Amino acid sequence: MAQSARLIQTLKKTLKSYGVTYADIAQHLNLSEASIKRLFAENNLSLQRLDKICELIHIEISDLVRQMREQSENRISSLSKAQEKEIASDLGLLLVAVCTLNHWTLKDIVNQFTLTEPQCIQYLAKLDRLKLIELLPKNRIKLLISAHFKWRENGAIQRFFQQHMMADFFKSRFDKQNEQFIVLNGMLSKKSNQVFQYKMEKLAMDFDELTNQDARLPMSEKNGYSAILAIRPWHFGIFEQFVRD
């Protein structure tokens, strides 16, 4: 399949995930619905029209290209419950998993932690078996995850981090030059909420891109950072008595 056709197929899947119909696209492009169906069926979208359709769901063509590439490489976006449970049950394995997801090499892990090289290699072999990485000759590490990879919601690893790390994370006053804490409150429609959630996902992908860019830098030029992005319907518990059933 030609690259342009694969790109349009990726666009169709993305539009479907956002609940966007041919009628929505027709209205946005000021064309008939029949014309839109024909353009998609023939894989015949101009760059200008492709850009306009991406605009409808607030994404960029570069985002589509990235999704298309990941789909063609069959990169994984999440693990099974059993896989996460296995990783969370062994603190050493979890440590090595987090390090490799952050582009650490075997040498980096051994230099930073008390794990021996044979122990690390055993853990890397387990991650290879779990299809999280591919352990290459000379113990080089190739990640097999997509840019959209995340731990399962309410899964074993997410629960582990919530239990052991959240309180420690928020001990900071977030007043240093390399820290920032933002709380937003406002009224959003369902559609605007979806748009903002996409922007959060886009920001997460931008973060991943920056970590990929910095992966080749020596450890002495990098620091570990964590970011938490969240949005949810919420109100102060103190006002609970005023909420209608």
Q: What's the pTM?
A: 0.62
Amino acid present at 194: Q
Is residue 205 located within the same domain as residue 244? yes
Which residues of the chain carry a pLDDT beneath 70?
A: 1-2, 70-74, 147-148, 235-245
pLDDT reported for residue 180:
87
pLDDT reported for residue 243:
58
pLDDT reported for residue 93:
94
Convert the pLDDT of each residue in 133-163 to its tens digit: 999 999 999 988 876 688 898 899 999 888 8
> Domain ends where: 52, 72, 92?
72
Is residue 153 located within the same domain as residue 181? no
> Domain ends where: 144, 166, 188?
166
> Domain ends where: 72, 99, 129?
72
- What residues have CB less than 8 Å from 145, skipping those under 6 apart? 75, 76, 77, 101, 132
Is residue 47 located within the same domain as residue 98? no
Is residue 162 located within the same domain as residue 176? no
pLDDT reported for residue 245:
63
Contact 160, 95 (CB under 8 A): no
pLDDT reported for residue 239:
60
Is residue 53 located within the same domain as residue 99? no
The parent domain of residue 136 ranges over 75-166
Would you give the distance in Å from CA 224 to the centre of its chain? 18
Amino acid present at 33: E
pLDDT reported for residue 157:
92
Domain count, the chain: 3
pLDDT reported for residue 240:
64
Is residue 110 located within the same domain as residue 160? yes
pLDDT reported for residue 5:
83
3-state secondary structure labels for all residues of 112-173: HCCCCHHHHHHHHHHHHHCCCEEECHHHCEEECECCCCCCCCCCHHHHHHHHHCHHHHCCCC
Is residue 126 located within the same domain as residue 179? no
Convert the pLDDT of each residue in 68-100 to its tens digit: 776 666 677 788 899 999 999 999 999 999 999
